[in-house]
Structure 1
Amino acid sequence: MSLSRREAIGAALALPLATQVARAAPAVSLPDRTGFASTPVAYFDNASTHPISLGAQAAINAYVAGRTLDPAAAARKPVDRAGVIAKFARLVNADPDEVTWVQSTTMGEQAVLRALGFPEKGGRIVTDTLHFYAAFPMYQEMARQGVDVAWVMAREGRIMPQDMARAITPGTKLVSLSLVSTYNGFQHDLKSVCDRAHSVGALVYADIIHAAGAVPVDLHGSGVDFAATATYKWLMGDFGLGFLYARRGVLDALPRTEYGYYGFAAPDAPPGIGLSPPQTHVFPMDPPGGAPTSYVVRPGTLGHFGTGTYAQGIAGALDHSLDRIAALGVPAIQAHAQSLIGELCEGLRAKGYAIITPPGTTTPLLTALLPNARALLTDPLAKAQVRLSLHDHHFRISPSIFNDGRDVERLLNALPRA
């Protein structure tokens, strides 16, 4: 079978990544179309919201059955939520006790800012204009309240390492960035940033929502101090549940600012996230005590940042999805996306589109500049049943494990010339 020129270019671009996993091919090959519900839509908006797989849907349905007191559900083994934390930790090269649940990436980032005393204690924060743009107002508000916020501006679709290094001056307290940019897929050299920050006594927070599950992530290897992600993108979970990582030892010098049900336990409670609430001393038949409760602070990130209840039904979906990601292997997932992006790049350029994702990027996000993109492309894409991320003056394509060459062909055919 002969390859088209587009397919040949896509395959050539993906080859360096594919060779990393050639000896450990998963039982199911990519694209994985059977793992997801059949749809007439060529869906390329995975960087906004990833579809839930059929296996994850079954896990959610099982949770709902239990919540409705379905007798059949009572016999099912409950989701090992500590095991889900452990699976995520393995995915990003962290230890389970360095990870806890959060509602969202933003909630994790804000918890880190509170722990560091922002904005009340002031200090210098370095961030950049390829960080999550919805976080911009947060740092602008910090600046209004007296925090020294330094913005590193993007050049040629990148944050230049020398620009970041110049901004991280002695006295910097925090460097905050997105490991992979939601705007155009640019990826930081996280270890280089952390090395520079640590050399002046600063800590580093990374938003990894566009990295975890999509590209290899090595939190321990990078030296990053904090990281957070939600699960509705490349982890194939849903809204309302994410993970917060804090490097072992980094919390020792920070005050506790989060207080909640999961952060405290009975004095004799085993470690982990199981239910073992503090021992009360105020109700009938309670043992006596000198305070309303006796408790210990749970160890690790859970004890420092654990608060209230979380979206437990999504934990079941993640239990399935994290297994699937591990079975396929992130390098294979990344290589598959790059093979499609190679075809897309050639097709977009042939139609006159200006690609603003930096050359050499190996993340699954491809962004093109187009004035009035939303107005010009909404109707033709809807007619062709193609979905991607449309903005006022750019559009973003983000292929995932179920996309194939037919989807690429339909998208390119639906796009008018620029």
Structure 2
Amino acid sequence: MTIEARAREFDLADPLAAARALFRLPDGVIYLDGNSLGALPRATPQVLARVVEEEWGEGLIGSWNRAGWFDMAARVGAKIAPLIGAAPQEVIACDSTSINLFKLIAAALQLRPGRKVILSEPGNFPTDLYMISGLEAQGLARRRLAAPERLAEALDGDVALLLLTHVHYKTGAVHDMAALTKAAHAAGALVLWDLSHSAGALPVDLNAAGADFAVGCGYKYLCGGPGAPAYAFVSARHLPRLSQPLTGWFGHEAPFAFVDDYAPAPGIARLLAGTPPILGLAALEVGVDLIASLGVARLYAKAQALSQFFLECLEALGVELELASPADAAARGSHLAFRHREAHAICQALIARGVIGDFRDPDVLRLGFAPAYLSFADMAAAARHLAEVLARGEWQRPEFRRRAAVT
């Protein structure tokens, strides 16, 4: 049986096959970069048009109350909460992942006086490490890095916070959230999880793991659009004592009292800083509602099946590439990474064929399997394209070997 025939059988049995129609995708494109920017939900343009034309255009400033803008950050956060195993009052949608990291790293340092070390791993997503370095430059923190297998033993009485990305942005490897959180707590440290490659892609249960803090972006598997607002989680046990450094007016207990002195809002609202981006939140809410309606457990099961089938297709076509992701599907998220010295050129050659993946320095071809809008037929076709790019040496063309700032 050909890989195409197998794909047809899988697609006929796929309970999520109809979900593809809920997204807008260009004809002739196999989109394997939803782990970097999710596809556009078909409902988003209509929702944004309504917010712009009716709520902003007609309601003007009155829409802060009549259209619920004022409570939008909390409302969208509460919808994200069940996707990550949190209570509604523990999550708020605001700012960017980087800004939320800064807020929560600083908050953790205040909750652990006398400790300054922030522990992470080399090769973590750059902004996570950069935010530690920024606080280090101010004399507020010290950065310590340890290999994944050495993290537990690197936890000592100096560590205030363990900061890790749950699903590694490059390899897709998944950390054991519960075990590492337990180890950190045993050492008296707090834990901050970056869920940017987790939320909407695989089941996450922050409260079951005993997590302290978490952040994540809204533009990958949650399909909130480019630059979508991020979100932040704070365990309810920490909220009464939480103090964050970006004390903007929306995080005040009475923002419209316009007093000179800051007093934090009760609960998760104290993580707000400036005025929430209403258009961005409106788009994010569409994506969150859609992913929630499809069910994360079903999406995860399909993503694992898609990635496994893709590997089987490569094997059937005689493609030999070094897999940089865990071979065990249960140990990885919803993307695969392959190492090749010409990964950038191969990526560009695939894009020219309508197969959109991405490249990560120095040598990683990264292919994402966003299950809401990908099919098994896409996997068979993408594998065949990759096989032909390699067999025909298409990656050697000069235009594919030139590096650009954005791929």
Under a length normalisation based on structure 2, what TM-score does the superposition of the two structures give? 0.81
Match of 1:347 among 285, 297, 313: 313
The 5 Å alignment of 1:15-414 reads: 29-30=16-17, 32-39=19-26, 40-66=28-54, 69-70=57-58, 81=72, 82-117=74-109, 123-140=116-133, 147-153=141-147, 159-160=148-149, 163-238=150-225, 239-266=227-254, 277-280=255-258, 292=259, 297-303=264-270, 305-349=271-315, 350-360=318-328, 361-378=331-348, 380-391=349-360, 392-400=362-370, 401-414=372-385
Name the SS for the 1:396 alignment partner. Answer: strand
Name the SS for the 2:81 alignment partner. Answer: helix
Provide the aligned C-alpha RMSD in A.
3.1
CA distance in 2, matches of 1:188, 1:7: 32
Letter in 2 for 1:60: L
Deviation for aligned residue 1:140? 4.6
- The unaligned stretches of length 5 or more in structure 1 are 19-24, 154-158, 267-276, 281-291
Deviation for aligned residue 1:184? 1.1
| Cα deviations by residue, 1:163-212 (Å, 9 ceiling, x for unpaired) | 22111122311100001110111111111111111111100011001111
For the pair shown, the structure with the greater C-alpha radius of gyration is: 1
Deviation for aligned residue 1:375? 2.4
CA distance in 2, matches of 1:138, 1:403: 34
Aligned to 1:269: none
- The answer (yes or no) to whether the contact 2:200–2:291 under 8 Å persists in 1 is yes
- The answer (yes or no) to whether the contact 1:97–1:301 under 8 Å persists in 2 is yes
412 and 87 in structure 1: CA distance in 2 versus 1, 3 angstrom threshold: same
Letter in 2 for 1:42: I
Deviation for aligned residue 1:70? 4.9
CA distance in 2, matches of 1:168, 1:187: 19
- The answer (yes or no) to whether the contact 1:171–1:201 under 8 Å persists in 2 is no
Letter in 2 for 1:389: D
Name the SS for the 1:198 alignment partner. Answer: helix
CA distance in 2, matches of 1:36, 1:387: 16
CA distance in 1, matches of 2:108, 2:21: 46
Deviation for aligned residue 1:252? 4.2
- The answer (yes or no) to whether the contact 2:215–2:231 under 8 Å persists in 1 is yes
- The answer (yes or no) to whether the contact 2:32–2:367 under 8 Å persists in 1 is yes
| Cα deviations by residue, 1:103-133 (Å, 9 ceiling, x for unpaired) | 1111111111222448x97622210135213
The number of equivalent residue pairs is 370
CA distance in 1, matches of 2:281, 2:132: 31
Aligned to 2:401: none
Give 4+ residue runs of structure 1 displaced > 6 Å after superposition: none
Deviation for aligned residue 1:296? 5.7
Deviation for aligned residue 1:218? 0.7
CA distance in 1, matches of 2:332, 2:234: 26
CA distance in 2, matches of 1:136, 1:67: 40
- The answer (yes or no) to whether the contact 1:278–1:295 under 8 Å persists in 2 is no
- What percent identity do the matched residue pairs reach? 25
Letter in 1 for 2:296: V
- The answer (yes or no) to whether the contact 1:31–1:336 under 8 Å persists in 2 is no
- The answer (yes or no) to whether the contact 2:115–2:158 under 8 Å persists in 1 is no
Letter in 2 for 1:189: D
- The answer (yes or no) to whether the contact 1:194–1:224 under 8 Å persists in 2 is yes
- The answer (yes or no) to whether the contact 1:102–1:310 under 8 Å persists in 2 is yes
| Cα deviations by residue, 1:137-169 (Å, 9 ceiling, x for unpaired) | 44455556664422122xxxxx33xx2211112
CA distance in 2, matches of 1:203, 1:294: 29
CA distance in 2, matches of 1:201, 1:60: 46
Name the SS for the 2:167 alignment partner. Answer: coil
Deviation for aligned residue 1:32? 1.9
More helix by share: 2
CA distance in 2, matches of 1:213, 1:307: 26
Give the number of the structure with larger relative contact order, counting CA–CA contacts within 8 Å between residues 6 or more apart.
1
Name the SS for the 1:176 alignment partner. Answer: strand
Deviation for aligned residue 1:406? 2.5
Letter in 2 for 1:133: P
- The unaligned stretches of length 5 or more in structure 2 are 392-407
256 and 412 in structure 1: CA distance in 2 versus 1, 3 angstrom threshold: closer
